[in-house]
């Protein structure tokens, strides 16, 4: 169980098979976010059809509503949501900080007011694992604190030390053998703090490690320097998960740096707002051009929307505020990211990841600001993809 | 083309096959409403899976947005919407009255202000047919006026006479042979005016006839008296379409009176509001009981929602305002009405329609107000189903 078997490498990028109780998955992979127990607007059957492999759910949200007991009597998230594959639940740490009101953090845990009804709720390492055991995901996350950006060095340091003590308590409390608990490395954008977090976290030998505390407002250059530093120092034989990331360019850069797992609300959220992901960048379906276009969003895409609809029809649905528009754009965007990692895996298998990534990026970034004049791609991207190759 | 072949009768109820350019359909049938070129939240693939046979679209809405030209360059509604089966378009007459502002009705046509942007729009019998030819539905409707309820007798009479003159202009203008134009019988709830409309309309021998001007606020008893009177006087060898109806009990009663086709936004609209149709009546998924129920909405239903989800999960989605809730409840409700007419067709085939209808109604109306103490069903329903049998 939870065996991580690398099948090919290309530079620092690698492709692997990760075994979970609900089936083996191929990495690198993008995990759709089903915050409240549903990927917004998308059915489990559709997730399976577009190549989703693991669905994320949120401990914070499901604790508040409908409560872990109701999910447990359904046999956990697969029974509750009807998605038959593996799940990953985050620990609630990040959401307590970003969504909870009037939170009070102590060594013991966090008390906060629910964003739904203002009621007082308590989360601790033990309570988070208890809830995650009731939710029954295959991969559960350590209860951590994710400092905001910017934050004082001293605060980041104190916080990461507490996160390590919380990790130990999570592991002590955890009783289910069919769930893998991943530790989370913190330390912000400071290499020495990342190193300190690594030194304290790696000895726990959890079946996977996450890189936390990024994509919270720092710049791309700082973020990818931290990803590069951390990923290079995580064990090669365990999956590496970059939390809350990302956009297409983040996946391609992160994979180059050796990241295996990603999650983000971006594809569904930007879809609901009327944007479609393509190899040429993000297409604004609210603009005037798509209204008369008889082309699909992406002629190379095999999603239901691209096989059946013109841009003009989808633009009509958007203007008419029809539910089918956010549904279809979310579906397409998820499929786009799944196809992107499928192409990345193939490039790794044939040992040409950097070449593929730069070729993909040349088209994706074409005509966009902040690209380097020589390479045609942003400096942070070029550095992530080509350094070390 | 447009052959209507009755295969069984039971009392006044009948089941038939109706041939259209996009395939043959079985009547009696319920037609989902896709006002703006989409059944709200439901994909064409799902419509096919749940047994939808014809989809309705609205001339008024599609004329205003995106305009008939855009639909025409897609090859009509099937190409635009990706629903491969037959379509029916209404003429816009009803919507001009209910949605247009500051409308001015003359013998020539109707000028009104768009409910979208206030622009001035003109519809006439000729323009309505022109637009419906561009939309390309298999069945198109005559441009009529549907008087409000209540209305003066004199107004209803003048209106129905104009509707007949408009029908003649529609038929004169119509040039496509692959579209069947249905005439609409008006006359409100007055038998003599219905007769007058019938006398003037039937000689046009259109391939089907609609009963218009009902379900606009009159009571059930008055409505079904008018349906009974009109349906009995329409030609037996042509399809009869009761416009804008209905609820489950309306379908069962209307079929008993010899109606073949129904349409209504009810299943999708009530689904979006959190209500589920069942043989026990309408289930309020917003109430407290479903929140902890591990049963499906309806154990006899074969829709995706009933095969995969508990009431508790769907109630959670509703409270969490997740898009999957209106999508799944709309899907279930459409499937419920399709299953209802499938059961009705079977009851007709075995010659026991009234018996089946009363048995269905005894459960459906159980414990509800306005039911007759003896029969357990409302008087208007019992009269529709049993009179003449």
Residues of A in contact with B288 (CB under 8 A): none
Contact A41 B324 (CB under 8 A): yes
Contact A323 B73 (CB under 8 A): no
For residues B54 and B28, is the Cβ–Cβ distance under 8 A? no
pLDDT digits (tens, 9 = 90+) for A154-187: 999 999 999 999 999 999 999 999 999 999 999 9
Q: Determine the Cα–Cα distance for residues B12 and B237; give it in Å rounded to an integer.
A: 13
Distance, first Cα to last Cα, chain B? 33
- Active-site residue, selected from the candidate residues B138, B263, B300, B372: B263
A261 strand-pairing partners: A29, A241
DSSP B287: S
A:306-365 residues touching chain B, CB 8 A cutoff? 308-310, 312-313, 316-317, 319-320, 322-324, 326-327
How buried is residue A357: exposed, middle or buried, by Cβ count under 10 Å (0-12/13-18/19+)?
buried
Say what the pLDDT of residue A373 is.
Answer: 75
Of A40, A44, A319, nearest to B65 by CB-CB distance is: A319
Cα–Cα distances in Å, from B361 out to B142, B351, B365, B382? 34, 18, 6, 9
pLDDT digits (tens, 9 = 90+) for A211-260: 999 999 999 999 999 999 999 999 999 999 999 999 999 999 999 999 99
Say what the pLDDT of residue A389 is.
Answer: 44
Contact A324 B73 (CB under 8 A): no
Taking each helix axis as running N to C, give the angle between helix B220-233 and helix B248-256, from 0 to 180 degrees, rounded to the nearest 10. Answer: 40
Q: pTM, whole model, 2 decimals?
A: 0.98
Of A43, A65, A292, nearest to B304 by CB-CB distance is: A43
A140 strand-pairing partners: A89, A181
**Beta strands B29-31 and B261-263: pairing type?**
parallel
Say what the pLDDT of residue A102 is.
Answer: 82
Q: Determine the Cα–Cα distance for residues A11 and A277; give it in Å rounded to an integer.
A: 27
For residues B344 and B252, is the Cβ–Cβ distance under 8 A? yes
How buried is residue A342: exposed, middle or buried, by Cβ count under 10 Å (0-12/13-18/19+)?
middle
Say what the pLDDT of residue B371 is.
Answer: 79
Say what the pLDDT of residue B387 is.
Answer: 63
Of A38, A292, A326, nearest to B70 by CB-CB distance is: A292
What does each of the 389 residues of chain B score in pLDDT, given as a tens digit? 899 999 999 999 999 999 999 999 999 999 999 999 999 999 999 999 999 999 999 999 999 999 999 999 999 999 999 999 999 999 999 998 888 788 899 999 999 999 899 999 999 999 999 999 999 999 999 999 999 899 999 999 999 999 999 999 999 999 999 999 999 999 999 999 999 999 999 999 999 999 999 999 999 999 999 999 999 999 999 999 999 999 999 999 999 999 999 999 999 999 999 999 999 999 999 999 999 999 999 999 999 999 999 999 999 999 999 999 999 999 999 999 999 999 999 999 999 999 999 999 999 999 888 777 778 899 999 999 986 54
Contact A294 B73 (CB under 8 A): yes
Cα-based angle B295, B301, B306 (whole degrees, multiple of 5)? 45
For chain A, how long is the longest CA-to-CA vector? 60
B37 and A CB contact within 8 Å: yes
Told to judge if A144 belongs to the known catalytic residues of this protein, a careful annotator would answer no
**Helix, strand, or coil (residue B78):** helix
Q: Determine the Cα–Cα distance for residues B54 and B59; give it in Å rounded to an integer.
A: 16
Residues of A in contact with B62 (CB under 8 A): none
Residues of A in contact with B82 (CB under 8 A): 308-309, 313
| Most B-contacting residue of A35, A43, A83, A307 (CB-CB within 10 A), to test interface | A43
Say what the pLDDT of residue B389 is.
Answer: 45
Contact A66 B322 (CB under 8 A): no
- Active-site residue, selected from the candidate residues A138, A144, A250, A263: A263
| Pairs of residues, one from chain A and one from chain B, whose beta carbons lie less than 8 Å apart | 100
DSSP B199-251: HHHGGG--S-EEE-S-SSS--HHHHHHHHHHHHHHS-TTS-EEETT---HHHH
Say what the pLDDT of residue B165 is.
Answer: 98
Cα–Cα distances in Å, from B99 out to B59, B94, B138, B150, B164? 13, 8, 25, 18, 23
pLDDT digits (tens, 9 = 90+) for A107-156: 999 999 999 999 999 999 999 999 999 999 999 999 999 998 999 999 99
- On the question of pLDDT at A388 being above 60, the answer is no
């Amino acid at each position: 169980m939870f065996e991580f078997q690398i099948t090919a490498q290309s530079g620092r990028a690698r492709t692997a098979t990760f075994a979970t109780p609900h089936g083996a998955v191929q990495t690198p992979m993008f995990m759709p976010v089903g915050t409240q127990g549903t990927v917004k607007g998308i059915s489990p059957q559709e997730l399976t059809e577009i190549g989703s492999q693991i669905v994320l759910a949120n401990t914070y949200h499901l604790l508040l509503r409908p409560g872990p007991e109701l999910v447990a009597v359904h046999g956990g998230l697969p029974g509750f949501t009807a998605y038959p594959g593996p799940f990953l639940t985050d620990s609630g740490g990040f959401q307590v900080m970003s969504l909870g009101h009037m939170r009070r953090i102590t060594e013991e845990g966090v008390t906060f007011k629910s964003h739904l009804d203002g009621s007082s709720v308590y989360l601790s390492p033990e309570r988070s694992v208890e809830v995650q055991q009731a939710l029954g995901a295959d991969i559960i996350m350590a209860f951590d604190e994710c400092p905001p950006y910017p934050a004082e060095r001293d605060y980041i340091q104190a916080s990461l030390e507490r996160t390590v003590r919380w990790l130990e308590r999570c592991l002590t409390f955890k009783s289910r053998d069919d769930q893998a608990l991943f530790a989370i490395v913190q330390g912000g954008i400071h290499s020495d703090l990342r190193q300190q977090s690594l030194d304290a976290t790696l000895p726990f030998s959890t079946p996977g490690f996450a890189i936390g505390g990024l994509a919270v407002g720092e710049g791309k250059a700082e973020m990818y320097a931290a990803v590069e530093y951390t990923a290079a120092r995580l064990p090669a034989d365990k999956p590496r998960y970059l939390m809350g990331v990302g956009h297409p360019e983040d996946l391609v850069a992160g994979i180059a740096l050796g990241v295996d797992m990603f999650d983000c609300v971006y594809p569904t959220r930007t879809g609901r707002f009327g944007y479609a992901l393509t190899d040429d960048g993000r297409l604004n379906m609210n603009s005037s051009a798509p209204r008369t276009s008889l082309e699909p969003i992406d002629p190379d895409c095999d999603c239901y929307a691209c096989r059946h609809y013109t841009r003009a029809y989808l633009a009509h649905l958007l203007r008419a505020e029809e539910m089918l528009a956010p549904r279809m754009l979310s579906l397409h965007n998820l499929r786009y990211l799944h196809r992107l990692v499928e192409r990345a895996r193939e490039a790794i298998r044939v040992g040409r990841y950097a070449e593929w990534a730069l070729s993909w990026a040349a088209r994706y970034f074409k005509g966009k600001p902040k690209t380097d004049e020589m390479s045609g791609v942003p400096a942070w991207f070029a550095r992530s993809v080509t350094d070390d190759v």
